[in-house]
Amino acid sequence: MQYFVTTNTPAAEKTDCVVIAIFEQSLLSSAATALNDSTNGRIASIVKRGDITGKAGQTLLLHDLDGVKSPRVLLVGCGKKTGIKENDFNTIITAVTKMLDNSAAEQASLYLNDLNVSDRPVQWLVTQAIIVAESSLYQYTTTKSNPKTTKNPIERLSFFTDVNEVEVRQATANGLAIANGMHLARELGDLPANVCTPSYLAEQAEQIGKQFDNVTTTILDEDEMESLGMGSLLSVSRGSRQPAKLITMNYQGANDEKPVVLVGKGLTFDSGGISLKPPGGMDEMKYDMCGSASVFGTITAIAELNLPINVIGLVPSSENMPDGDANKPGDIVTSMAGKTIEILNTDAEGRLILCDALTYSERFDPAVVIDIATLTGAIIVALGSKTTGLMANDQKLADDLLQAGLDSHDKAWQLPLWDEYQEQLDSNFADIANIGSKGAGSITAACFLSRFTEKFTWAHLDIAGTAWTSGGKAKGATGRPVPMLVQYLMNRISKN
């Protein structure tokens, strides 16, 4: 969709549909009042009839009102006039987008000007509205023969503002870039693992390098990783017919400045390996590359916006399969950092590929390193599917990420990474075991990674719960945490 800003009054706006807020207890918004005045009181009398009460997400489509230039007026319930929560706002935008998409209107103008969403500025409303609108229209079609199509889909949305026009226009660009990044992340996540292999991800990264002048992509193959001593990463891919790839996307938006390194787990299918997973729902392990998908989405979003910052997207990509040459429980491998690892469970493979990528990230002299990984089922037990798990070796970085989560409404919650947990990784036969003893599975996974991040400021995002919606009709990738990551990078820039 395309997005614009309008400063016309709702009665004077010439489009297919103007969208006007009605608040609870049938209170009219300022745009509804203006439209009421130009229609001889029609809006108030229709609302009085009781077909719309103002509950968040209710809609009522009106046609051919005298005194209004546009043929349609969509009334939308926006909850309490005094203020609503972000989730209500998402409900409202989803309802409006679906209604418009199913109507014959191809363009519309939104008058949501006096909506109070937790006191957030109009720029936030516009960015968030675009993210939610695009998200609600997302459809996976790539491997369907007859994808559903909409007649007269909605193609152009304008946002009314009477303040900060330039900033609101920028907010539309931000929203679209983030939405596009999420779209890419969802598409990559939803692709089946026989299409989306490590080589496929590498090709996508090459594509992104061609698409944007300031992104340079390099791919390391298994031989090159072997010479670097990445024995941990390669032990995982050894059990698979698909060769591993180490993908680097270097986004250069600023001159001399240390980069932010984003490391995304790119496990294109996680069968568990010899520690095979149970069959129920195993198809969802195609989503085990959603960390890398969020790195792809973040790199394209910031490249589209030309953000003045340096970011490296680093993606270790492999499959985890059972095979005659696969890791066996008890095997000991040597990581690039030189530490030996006893593999007590071959299903704890994410950390095995991430640890070598984290060591590799040292060479970029990073300002900070953030890894994003569908790392543990335990994080779903702790936080469910709403909240990303966050652990860090630096509280300032943790706070900045938590804040970015709140700002973008793509939230995380911190778990402790205290030394007390480290001993759970003790091994009788190697420097470290790849799983902890009982309990705190998400924390011990982060503890494992922390052994490879001592030389830099680092945070870990466990997105096993938030990266996709599980099971049933709603099954699919979410595109999270692209909004949080882009927000974090934007916040870094505005603090400089």
| Binding region for Mn ion (CB under 5 A) | 270, 347, 349
- In the complex with ligand BES, the residue whose CB is nearer, 16 or 349, is 349
Binding region for Zn ion (CB under 5 A) out of 85-93, 264-272, 290-298, 331-339: 264-272
Q: Contacting ligand BES (CB under 6 A), which of 464, 485, 486, 489?
A: 464
- In the complex with ligand BES, the residue whose CB is nearer, 333 or 378, is 378
- In the complex with ligand BES, the residue whose CB is nearer, 270 or 400, is 270
- In the complex with ligand BES, the residue whose CB is nearer, 280 or 324, is 280
Q: Contacting Zn ion (CB under 5 A), which of 13, 101, 134, 270?
A: 270
Q: Taking CB under 6 A as the rule, does residue 439 contact ligand BES? A: no
Q: Taking CB under 5 A as the rule, does residue 350 contact Zn ion? A: yes
Of 80, 277, 475, 492, the active-site residue reads 277
- In the complex with Mn ion, the residue whose CB is nearer, 273 or 405, is 273
CB 235 to Mn ion: min, Å: 14
Q: Taking CB under 5 A as the rule, does residue 222 contact Zn ion? A: no
Cβ atoms of 202 and 219 within 8 Å: the answer is: yes
- In the complex with Mn ion, the residue whose CB is nearer, 272 or 366, is 272
CB 270 to Mn ion: min, Å: 4
**Three-class DSSP labels, the chain:** CEEEEECCCCCCCCCCEEEEEEECCCEECHHHHHHHHHCCCHHHHHHHHCCCCCCCCCEEEEECCCCCCCCEEEEEECCCCCCECHHHHHHHHHHHHHHHHHCCCCEEEEECCCCCECCCCHHHHHHHHHHHHHHHHCCCCCCCCCCCCCCCCCCEEEEECCCCHHHHHHHHHHHHHHHHHHHHHHHHHHCCCCCCCHHHHHHHHHHHHHHCCCEEEEEECHHHHHHHCCHHHHHHHCCCCCCCEEEEEEEECCCCCCCEEEEECEEEEECCCCCCCCCCCHHHHHHHHHHHHHHHHHHHHHHHHCCCCEEEEEEEEEEECCCCCCCCCCEEEECCCCCEEEECCCCCCHHHHHHHHHHHHHHHCCCEEEEEECCCCHHHHHHCCCCEEEEECCHHHHHHHHHHHHHHCCCEEECCCCHHHHHHHCCCCCCEECCCCCCCHHHHHHHHHHCCCCCCCEEEEECCCCCEECCCCCCEECCCCHHHHHHHHHHHHHHC
Q: Contacting ligand BES (CB under 6 A), which of 16, 88, 134, 288?
A: 288
Q: Which of residues 350-369 bind ligand BES (CB under 6 A)?
A: 350
Q: What is the dihedral of CA 182, 183, 188, 191, to 10 degrees?
A: 140
> b/e string for 224-263 if b means 16 or more Cβ within 10 A?
ebeebbbbbbbbbbbbbebbbbbbbbbbbbbeeeebbbbb
Q: Contacting Zn ion (CB under 5 A), which of 134, 190, 222, 288?
A: 288
Q: Taking CB under 6 A as the rule, does residue 326 contact ligand BES? A: no
- In the complex with ligand BES, the residue whose CB is nearer, 163 or 276, is 276
**CA 265 to CA 282: how far, in whole Å?**
18
Q: Taking CB under 5 A as the rule, does residue 190 contact Zn ion? A: no
Is 241 an annotated catalytic residue? Answer: no
Q: Taking CB under 6 A as the rule, does residue 441 contact ligand BES? A: yes
345 binds, among ligand BES, Mn ion, Zn ion, none (CB under 5 to 8 A by kind): ligand BES
Q: Taking CB under 6 A as the rule, does residue 371 contact ligand BES? A: no
Closest residue to Mn ion: CB criterion: 347
Site string for ligand BES, 134-153 (x = CB under 6 A): --------------------
Q: Taking CB under 6 A as the rule, does residue 377 contact ligand BES? A: yes
Is 351 an annotated catalytic residue? Answer: yes
φ, ψ dihedrals at 179, nearest 5°:
-60, -40
- In the complex with Zn ion, the residue whose CB is nearer, 88 or 288, is 288
**CA 431 to CA 340: how far, in whole Å?**
5
CB 41 to ligand BES: min, Å: 56
- In the complex with Mn ion, the residue whose CB is nearer, 167 or 284, is 284
Output 165-168 pairs: Cβ under 8 A, ≥24 positions apart: 165/5, 165/7, 167/123, 168/5, 168/122, 168/123, 168/126
Q: Which of residues 253-282 bind ligand BES (CB under 6 A)?
A: 270
Q: Contacting ligand BES (CB under 6 A), which of 22, 130, 435, 446?
A: 435
CB 83 to ligand BES: min, Å: 36
Q: Contacting ligand BES (CB under 6 A), which of 134, 187, 349, 356?
A: 349
CB 74 to Mn ion: min, Å: 47
Binding region for Zn ion (CB under 5 A) out of 154-162, 241-249, 342-350, 488-496: 342-350
Q: Which of residues 328-347 bind ligand BES (CB under 6 A)?
A: 345, 347
Q: Taking CB under 5 A as the rule, does residue 198 contact Zn ion? A: no
**CA 421 to CA 436: how far, in whole Å?**
9
Of 72, 186, 245, 351, the active-site residue reads 351
Q: Taking CB under 5 A as the rule, does residue 291 contact Zn ion? A: no
Site of interaction with Zn ion (CB under 5 A): 267, 270, 288, 350
Q: Contact residues for ligand BES (CB under 6 A)?
A: 270, 288, 345, 347-350, 374-378, 435, 441, 464
Active site amino acids: 277, 351
